[in-house]
Amino acid sequence: MNHNPLFNRLTDIEGVEIIKNVSMAPHTSYRIGGPAGIWIVPRSEKAVGQVLQVLHRARVPLFVLGLGTNVLVSDKGWDGAVVHIGPNLDGWIFEGRQAVVRAGTALMNLIQATVAVGLAGMESMAGIPGSVGGGLRMNAGAFGQEIASTTVWVRGYYRDGTPFKADRDAIGFGYRTAAQLQDAVITSARFRFTVDDPETLAIRMDKALNRRRARQPFDVPSCGSVFKRPPNHYAGKLIEMAGLKGERIGGAMVSPKHAGFIVNTGSASAADVFNLIRKVESTIRHKFGVRLEREVKLIGDFGPGGG
């Protein structure tokens, strides 16, 4: 794809960094992935909308990347535009019991900040990787808390650059999903908390972190949980019962610590991970009649079964 005319139009937008052919591997928690055709880094919410308008008019394939968790990028990369919303669009402002937070903020950073000022509602989600925007899109949660419960509104743009603002009740939050946010580019959100003792909150946060570290492979690259929890089952338990703990294809391995994770042992390609995902899915369907639904998002061309 010839990106030169598009590149020139994007450079006219104030507050945007644009680079061609950027390797996506360093920007994903898997440390895997080929290049992005155009890498776009907007530094304001307004710039995000302007970028989206240009991309929409040019009919360029678009992928929005936060902190790179919960995604697997093809070895071939993404021959389109990647809009990166991470440290370039982070930070928050506390307003009493509420906070307005930019979408690129690391969720853990926000949790630590709320705990420090005695605001409760996210402390049990400590250790969940990724950004606030990503957490909203998948309604991240753990140990009885979900991001939906603190959300007041979410703001951003539709893919054509049209601005939107949605109150919590209109978003359609469900288990690991937020229906009205799937085709939106989130730029900020408002959250409402309750007041609690900072020391008490810190104890809860540390407890959640310790439980997560004890159960999950924090020491090797992964995307987090590969599969959603099936009705009446746990994906990790089914995979363990199928004898797949430690199963490997190339440099990809089903974690011996938690079977719901597929890790990069250091040399995995995206194809290795994808083929192992397919093997796990096929085995679980054959042994238990359960179809696992992927929580990880596949970006780029993976061939058959990659949809």
What three-state secondary structure class fits 297? strand
Q: Judge whether 295 counts as a catalytic residue.
A: yes
Inter-axis angle of helices 107-116 and 198-215, to 10 degrees?
A: 150
Answer whether 156's CB lies under 8 Å from 184's CB: yes
Which of 107, 198, 265, 211 lies closest to 256 in space, CA to CA? 265
Q: Which of 45, 247, 281, 295 is catalytic?
A: 295
Catalytic residue among 176, 204, 211, 248: 176
Amino acid at 156: G
Q: Could you count the other beta carbons within 10 Å of the beta carbon of residue 8?
A: 10
Does the annotation count 123 as an active-site position?
A: no
Q: Which of 32, 21, 10, 13 is nearest to 277 (CA)?
A: 32
The answer to whether 149 is a known catalytic residue is: no
Q: Which of the residues 29, 131, 225, 255 is marked catalytic?
A: 225
Of 63, 137, 40, the closest CA to residue 301 belongs to 63
Other CB atoms closer than 10 Å to residue 183's CB: what's the count?
8
Catalytic amino acids? 176, 225, 295
